[in-house]
Structure 1
Amino acid sequence: MKHKKFIFIFILTISISLFVIGCIYNIISGKPLHTNLVYQFLINLPLCIALGFIDFGIIRLVYKKFKIQNNIFRIFVDLTITTFLSVLLSGSINYLLIKDCISFWIILKSSLPIIPWNWIIVFQIEIFLYSLQQTEMEKRLAFIEKEKALYQFEVLKNQINPHFLFNSLNVLASLTYQDAEKANLFTKKLSTVYRYLLTTHGQLKVTLKEELSFVDSYLYLEHIRFEDTLSINIEDSKKEHNRFVIPASIQMLVENAIKHNISTKSSPLVIHICINDEMIIVSNNLQLRNYVTRNETGLKNLQRQYALYNKHIEIIKNDKEFIVKLPFLD
């Protein structure tokens, strides 16, 4: 459990504050100071501390096991359970202390003052836990923003690197003389690729439909460049297009396969994209280049992005094939 030290100090502070309140109340009611202090130290202070830890344990249990989303209902459940236990604890202690008391109602009456004490403890614990949750959420959001920015930078850097621009402009220059209509379409697809990267810069996730539309533009550019040496197949039932993925994740896997593998007419690079109801599977035949640095920065970055959503990317590599399985985010 996190923050153990702070939790202990917090509960101890509540207990001492209730102890002080009890002392003031008894002094006002006319009881001698020395008698009051002895009674409070011996009985009420240990009771307050025990009650504080019991209440905290119950509230933590309700938080973890029941996962109640409605805060008002959860607090009501906390108050109900802790009130019953506090009255039971106080009643048991009073029964042991008041030897000549036989009546159940007298024991119950002597135990009732613990109820407002218990409520004060419960409300303070709820406020304390809420504050901790907000702090953790802010830290997590800051971490997500940092990881998102890093991933988007890597994606943008990979796409705007000199090699990509050089190759794209070379292809465009050739098409301008050979086929003006194809050159026009190539230019539109290239602008679509960069527009997507820029418009999704502030987004944590996109729909599969948006991602596939972007991938289609990217694949068109690569098909024009590699022609018959590159074969890409997409198996898509179109049933999962409203599911969510990390922006440019599928494209990055395709780009990775092209970057690290040889593609020739005699040995074309074959990339297969399969979309089922659970995940997206991107696979390619393995024919690695010898001179490409394989630091896998992009893939590791993508793994960190999915880890932020408690999702795991499965990577399978053998002598013939490289496979990456991307889960949906929802």
Structure 2
Amino acid sequence: MQGMSTLLALPLLRTEEPETLLYNGNIWTVDEAQPRAQAVAIRSGRLLAVGSNAEVLPLATARTRKIDLAFKSVLPGFNDAHAHPVESGVQHLRKVACDSDSIEKIQTVLHARALQTPPGEWVLGFLYDDGKTPRPINRGDLDAAVPDHPVLVQHRGGHTAFVSSLALQLAQVNDQTPDPAGGRFEHDAAGHLMGFVADAGMQAFFKLISNKNTREDHCQGAALISKLFVTKGVTSACDADASTDDVQGYQDARDAGKLAMRLYCHVSAASLDHFMAAGIHTGFGDQWVRIGGVKQYADGSISERTAWLSQPYIGIPNNYVGLQLSSR
């Protein structure tokens, strides 16, 4: 080990007392000049020193918590550059997880939720991935599982959803309904609706679903999802479409001491006027919750075949090239 890491010069370190010191480890420094270290000293969530055991251990005092890593590895926390954390957290609280590779298992969990749902209210699913199941789910699958409630199951990518026949009826969407601008209602070869709706096509259903999420729901959602993130080593994320409610949820969770990760928020274009009226701009916030840029949609999602391409998608008729959501 050649000298101290360049994270901080040694003379400055001796003026600060580390709260925690990790040693006997395989520490990834992300520094090409010194890719590995044995020990690291920490104070108030910041690194004070990185180097060999011989260099860092003398910085400890009687009050320093020392942890022998027994040669285990330590990596910097990962950053998720595109996520929707608080939205996902609220969904975990309110919706049915449909991330199974079995259509039958998805039907089972939706049916179980329907048994607990008051008559006429929606049964909502999320996290569905049509790449996992043998084929995409359709309205027939949802009708069989939940015949007496409208059902909407959103794809994990957020740009598409699968709805039941009762949902289509309530939204007044039928075989003859034209696709909305920036949206799509998928039909089978006979011209009948499949129950698959994309991007702007989802709005016909979203507007029928009562949003009962409270400020406390957003706080709980932020707290829950941040804990799930850090269990996977993700310690910071960019919220790629944050509403005013989302940012409030992060702030409330932070103030309650329940926010376990750092957030950088690109605000939703739909909420931009509200942020600007409040004097909130890029850079506003602190190390835990900070405002970034503005999220504007140009097209859809590759994984859901709604991204706008220069060549048609394979396997989708009529030279379908995706959806353009904005011309700006």
For the aligned pair, the TM-score class normalised by the smaller chain equals under 0.3
**Larger CA Rg, structure 1 vs 2:** 1
TM (normalized to structure 2)? 0.27
Q: Which has the higher helix share?
A: 1
Q: Which has the higher strand share?
A: 2
User: Which structure has more RCO (C-alpha within 8 Å, separation ≥ 6)?
Assistant: 2
TM (normalized to structure 1)? 0.27
